[in-house]
Amino acid sequence: MTRALTVLGIETSCDETAAAVVRLHTSGSVEILAEKVHTQLEEHAPYLGVVPEIAARAHAELVDATVRAAMAEAAMDYTGLDGVAATSGPGLIGGVLVGMMTGKAVAQAAGRPFIAVNHLEGHALSPRLTLDCPFPYLLLLVSGGHCQFLEVQGLGAYRRLGSTIDDAAGEAFDKTAKLLGLGFPGGPAVERIARSGDPKAVDFPRPLLNRPGLDMSFAGLKTAVARAAAAAPQSEARMADICASFQAAIVDVLVEKSRRALEGFEPGDGLPKRFVVAGGVAANSAIREGLQSVVNDAGAVLMAPPGRHCTDNAAMIALVGAERLAAGLESEAGDLGAGARPRWPLDEAAAKSDPAYITGRRGAKA
């Protein structure tokens, strides 16, 4: 890498339409030149969850204007780009296709390489947008669709250490909110209401907590929440207690599994242990506090992106594109012939040899 690289990133994997322009300098520092995000909260709120068809239509309506706005904020035209990156999976396939086709069109028109980006790799590298976070590090990727521990050995080099065998933690938060009628988005609603509740009021299970290893399970918590909600008359205080107790169960599982992961992680060469938490659920303050405690006990360093880079965003997609471009991996990441993938595990070898979670014909999540 002999000069700075500037990349446009596009993210449309779920319910945020986002575009960003990022510059990767030769020193390794990152400069975010522009960042635009359009949420779809109003469109999905009546359904208490993301509706794929509505999301895809909204992306199609918003993506062109979002890209133009990001380029205008960066004060540059498309010929000033070194590459165009777009989320190509995993995610809701309709939305992924919208972003990919837009990215390919811009890349072809500008005569620049197109980089197909794994959305999960975006989360894995997201702390590198604003923090000094060299490889290797231990990663807890905790989002609406994924929950797994990974050893991030380098760009494109990820080793799965443990994963949820059913629902992700973020999915459990959202489904709990839906069960309790808390509105959408569910995760922030549960966290907000939990602040006034007693985390010991309801004895929720801690699935797989006593089983060796780093695998997790959160599906059963939904049933436990439903039973708790039906067991007593509802009031604001009762609702707060259920939310606080549910959140405490999630925190306890993540903390204990993180403790085990840190015990087994050795970066080598006298390097400090860096523990990164990324993904939308990483914005939850109770989870961050619990992880900070276990990291302190292990003598490690906790690193987490700011809130806007925990949730889905295009800056992390642009960064992956820039880093892959700098490393000469653009052909490995994809080109104009790259296809959209509803499932795309970071550790594909582990997903093939020992899949953690398979549903239908789409393959393993991890």
pLDDT digits (tens, 9 = 90+) for 66-81: 999 999 999 999 999 9
Cα torsion 139, 330, 21, 57: sign: negative
- Stretch 292-298: mean pLDDT, rounded? 97
Strand partners, 37: 18
Residue 332 has pLDDT above 80, yes or no: no
Per residue in 111-155, pLDDT (tens digit) is 999 999 999 999 999 999 999 999 999 999 999 889 999 999 999
pLDDT at 361: 66
Average pLDDT, the chain: 94
- Domains along the chain with CATH numbers: 5-129+309-345 (3.30.420.40), 137-304 (3.30.420.40)
**Spatial distance between the Cα atoms of 202 and 158, rounded to a whole number of angstroms:** 38
- Stretch 223-236: mean pLDDT, rounded? 91
CA 183 to mean position of chain CA atoms: 21
pLDDT at 264: 95
pLDDT at 365: 83
Residue 218 has pLDDT above 60, yes or no: yes
* Helical residues (DSSP H) of the chain, grouped into ranges: 41-44, 52-73, 93-110, 119-125, 169-180, 186-194, 219-231, 236-264, 285-297, 307-310, 315-326, 330-333, 348-353
- Stretch 1-16: mean pLDDT, rounded? 95
Residue 333 pLDDT grade (very low, low, confident, very high; cuts 50, 70, 90): very low
pLDDT at 330: 66
Per residue in 180-215, pLDDT (tens digit) is 999 888 999 999 999 999 999 999 999 999 999 999
Q: Other CB atoms closer than 10 Å to residue 37's CB: what's the count?
A: 18
Residue 87 pLDDT grade (very low, low, confident, very high; cuts 50, 70, 90): very high
pLDDT at 331: 54
Residue 362 has pLDDT above 80, yes or no: no
Share of the chain above pLDDT 70, in %: 97
The DSSP line for 312-364 is S-SHHHHHHHHHHHHTT-HHHH--TT----S---SSHHHHHHS-S-B-GGG-B
pLDDT at 232: 80
pLDDT at 143: 92
